[in-house]
Amino acid sequence: MTDIRTLIVKEFPDRKTTHAHILPIYMSSSFVFDDIEEGIDIFKGVKKGHSYSRYSNPTIDTVANKIAALETQGSQLKATCQLVSSGMAAISTLCFALLKPGDKIITQANLYGGTTELFSKILQPWGVTPVFTDLHGLDWIEHQLQIDPTIKMIYGETPANPSMACINLKKLGQLGKKYGIPTVIDKTFCTPYLQKPLLHDIDFVIHSTTKYLNGHGNSICGAIIGIDEQKMSKVWEVMKLTGTNTNAFDAWLLNNGIKTLALRMDAHCHNAMELATWLESLPEVIKVNYPGLKSHPDHETAKSQMSKFGGMLSFELSGGLDKGIQFMNKLKICTLAPTLGDVDTLVLHPASSSHLKVDREVRILNGITDGLIRLSVGIEHIEDLKADILQAIR
C-alpha cells in the first residue's frame, strides 16, 4: 500500500476525456517522458516533443503557430514564429542569432527610442555597429552594401515610432535578397491584419505582441517570425540559451486577445483617420503624422502595402516642450501611459519619455520635436476623444 506522504506528492492522471474548446494553459516547467529512449530522441531532435518550458511549451507553440499563419495568410509561404518575453527580447534575440562582433546594421534614425538604445548601448559595445540613416535612400544603401562586406543586417520600422514614416518594403526586401543581407521589420503598429512584410520579400518580422496583437494591456510578450528554417532554428537556440522565452500564461492571454484583432483594428483605424483629419484643421497643430493622410510624404507607399492605415498617429503642437506637457496634464478621457495598442486611447510625449535619452539634435532632425504628441487611438466614441483633445489643447 502506498504511503499517504507519497500519494500527496504524486501527480494524478489528467482526467481530460474530450478536447478543450479554448487553448489550455500548460503551466508546467517540465514534461514527462514515457521512457528514457523517448527522452533521448527528443533531446537529439529525432522525435518532436516537449521536455522543458524554456525550450518549448504546448500553449506557447500553439499561439506561435497561429501568428506565423497570420503573417503568411494569402500566400504559399510557410513561416516559423518564436515567442519571447517582450518586443525588446525579440529584437535582441534575433540580433544575437544573426550577428557577431565586427558586423554592422543599417537602420533608420527615427526608430523607437528603446531600439536605438539597444543598438547603441548593448550591441555597439559588444562589437556590432549600428549605421543610422534614412531608409528611403535605397541608392545609398545599395552603395554601402557594395563597398562594405561587414554590413550583415538591414533593420527598419514601418510605420516608424513615433514619426509614422513608412519605408518601401518590396524595394528594401529585394535589395536585401540581391546582396544576401537579411532584412528585419518591426511592424508592431500594424499587426498582420494590416501589413504582411514577409509577402514583400522581407526576411524577418518583429512584434511587441504586448501591443495590438494582445490589445488589452495585460501581458508582455514578443514575437520573431521568419521563413528561413535554418536561421529560425538559430533564433530558437539563442532564445533557449539566453532564457528570453515567454511563459504559458502570457501566451494564453495573447491568444485570447488575437481573437478580436480584426474588430479592434477596424475600430482603431476608423477613429485614427477621423482624428488625423480633424487635427489637421486645428490652428494650434503645426503638423499631423498619419500615413492615411494625403499630406503624409509616405502616403502612397503606405497605401501600396497596408490594407488600412493603423491606429497610431502623432501631431506637433505649437509651443514646444511646455505646451506638450501642459496638454498631457489637461487630458481627462485619454490615458497617459508609456505603451500603445490597448483598446483605450493612450497618449505619450516622446521628448519627455520614450525618446528622453535620445540626443535632442538627433530627435529634432528626425521630426521628434519637443511639442510632438503620440496618440495610440482607442475605440472609444470619436466625439468624446475630440472633445477631450480639444479642451487639452486650448
Q: What percent of the chain has pLDDT over 70?
A: 99
Q: For the domain with range 261-393, which CATH number is right: 3.40.30.10, 3.90.1150.10, 3.40.50.2300, 3.40.50.11540?
A: 3.90.1150.10
User: Rounded to an integer, what distance in angstroms lies between the CA atom of residue 165 and that of residue 111?
Assistant: 10
Q: Name the packing angle between helices 320-330 and 382-393 (round to 10°).
A: 130
Tens digits of residue pLDDT in 150-197: 999 999 999 998 889 999 999 999 999 999 999 999 999 999 999 999
| Residue linked to cell 492571454 | 253
User: Rounded to an integer, what distance in angstroms lies between the CA atom of residue 152 and that of residue 231?
Assistant: 13
The 3-state DSSP composition of the chain as helix, strand, coil percent (nearest 5) reads: 45, 15, 40
User: Rounded to an integer, what distance in angstroms lies between the CA atom of residue 148 and that of residue 146?
Assistant: 6
Length of the chain: 394
Closest to 369 (Cα-Cα) out of 312, 324, 329: 324
pLDDT of residue 370 exceeding 80: yes
Check: CB of residue 284 under 8 Å from CB of residue 393.
yes
User: Rounded to an integer, what distance in angstroms lies between the CA atom of residue 195 and that of residue 330?
Assistant: 35
Q: Where are the domains of the chain?
A: 36-258, 261-393
Give the pLDDT of residue 163.
86
Tens digits of residue pLDDT in 281-304: 999 999 999 999 999 999 999 999
Return the HEC string of 112-159: CHHHHHHHHHHHHHHCCEEEEECCCCHHHHHHHHHHCCCEEEEEEECC
pLDDT band at 350 (very low <50, low <70, confident <90, very high): confident
| Residue linked to cell 546594421 | 105
Look up the CATH number of domain 36-258: 3.40.640.10
Dihedral sign of CA atoms 221, 351, 169, 120 in order: negative
Q: Name the packing angle between helices 248-258 and 58-72 (round to 10°).
A: 40
User: Rounded to an integer, what distance in angstroms lies between the CA atom of residue 78 and that of residue 226?
Assistant: 9
